[in-house]
Chains A and B, each alone.
Chain A
């Protein structure tokens, strides 16, 4: 498995997609801050040039982060799955392939998330008007998002490895992370969209706190995805 991961690492470092996707994400953060900053320069009463607004844009846009996760996974795994046959015919198990690809792409995705987070905080605190505890509130609310974002990334990886078409991935995604709250509110309130909305509300009220329910939901989605994914991929024919 170590050798497989080393080779995947060699591949990922040479993929233009890794650098392009990362650069676009980071540039979008910078662009958002610059627009807010210059809007305030032009109009002194502009109310949105605050770190709170910037941070709330991150906390309230989990879907956007999920889209980045989808793009990231597509760019890094994408068509390269056709090469799995060469590895399988050399004796690598499907499990090794599945986990190695997941660990590495997830590692790079988390690195990008941390970089984006640090960039947001740095720019927010230096160029925007900031309130006391806004960073700590942001970090708490942001940490609550982590399990949901991770579950999304894992779900994407599983579906990509099982050769599910992107249309179905997007439909399933929209259902689980956007519409499930409205559709299933009668049954339970542990749906990702409901919990993320509550997380945003807490953050806006400056009362962000650790919410175990997001972790429970994220872990449940991740574990179910991984169980189905590993089981099905282990039996999957590779053509």
Chain B
């Protein structure tokens, strides 16, 4: 499979603080990869290094197989939207896109109206950027990404500020671009449920390190049912569980919550074991894990 983005031991330090630890990452053709992490995990820093806004402290980036100065040419096949989209506030949407159309040497002037139509801003094309709502600004940012008909999109928080309808539209648009034009997408968002509906791969990042990298299928497998229980003494409960089921897989979450990934069929026995051993079980349920919970478990939980 073609590799669109590849990083080798990519590292970034600000002053003496290591923000991204040597990181190997790749985005393959046709993938929609979600980069997931808490604020400050390093997502935007990675995006900025890919776009050229920040220089890596060490390591290398390859875009479409090109590295070094040749990435400039490869970037013409990419659309970046990193953090809040910036435009000239006094220009209309059409004027802003015209500025970038000229800059990018795109001959067809109609392309501006095509992309405005795609993001549903055609009717507001004469409105000044400063009068746009947050959601409209985001959509104009996506329109700019699409202006040069890219093969890859790198979108940092593209649905930030959009209403439910807007979020759904952008999701449909990205899925359509991916399906019909095989556009690869690297995306981040704080709305994890939305990413779950969009992405085909999930990369979890914590303190500048990739802590997990799952395909959608693997995540779905991991999202199978689990036991979630809340007890008065999580440490004691964990000890009991380990004694009774040596290969049990569990996590201890904050507030004395324990999630058990296997032995779901033995839920009755587990419940009885804990109660009989004097552990107060305040909550006991069998649930399916979603991306948000998986993420929280990964970054906040204490894994066995």
Contacts and interface: CB of A to CB of B under 8 A. Distances in A.
Interface of A: 3-4, 6-7, 10-11, 14-16, 80, 82-83, 85-93, 235, 237-239
Interface in B86-133: 86-88, 90-91, 95, 98-100, 102-105
A235 B54 CA distance: 9
Interface residues of B, number: 30
Given A83-B87, A90-B75, A11 B99 contact: yes
Chain A contact residues, majority secondary structure = helix
A151 to B, nearest CB: 29
Contacts of A88: 51-53
A14 B144 CA distance: 20
B102 A6 contact: yes
Listed residue (A90, A237, A238) with the most chain B CB atoms within 10 angstroms of its CB:
A90
A239 B82 CA distance: 10
Contacts of B100: 7, 86, 90
Contact of A85 (B55, B82, B90): B82
Given A14-B91, A90-B76, A91-B73, A85 B105 contact: no
Contact of A87 (B48, B90, B103): B103
Interface string B66-96: 0000011111101010100011101100010
A91 B76 contact: yes
A87 B74 CA distance: 14
Interface of B: 48, 51-55, 71-76, 78, 80, 82, 86-88, 90-91, 95, 98-100, 102-105, 144, 148
A83 B78 CA distance: 17
B24 to A, nearest CB: 22
Given A6-B103, A14-B91, A82-B86, A89 B51 contact: yes
Q: Could you say which of B71, B74, B75, B86 has the most chain A C-beta atoms within 10 Å of its C-beta?
A: B86
Nearest to B148: A90
A80 B88 contact: yes
Contacts of B86: 82-83, 85-86
B104 A14 contact: no
20 contacts: A3-B105, A6-B102, A7-B102, A7-B103, A11-B99, A14-B95, A80-B88, A83-B88, A87-B103, A89-B51, A89-B53, A89-B82, A90-B75, A90-B100, A90-B104, A90-B148, A91-B71, A92-B103, A237-B48, A237-B54
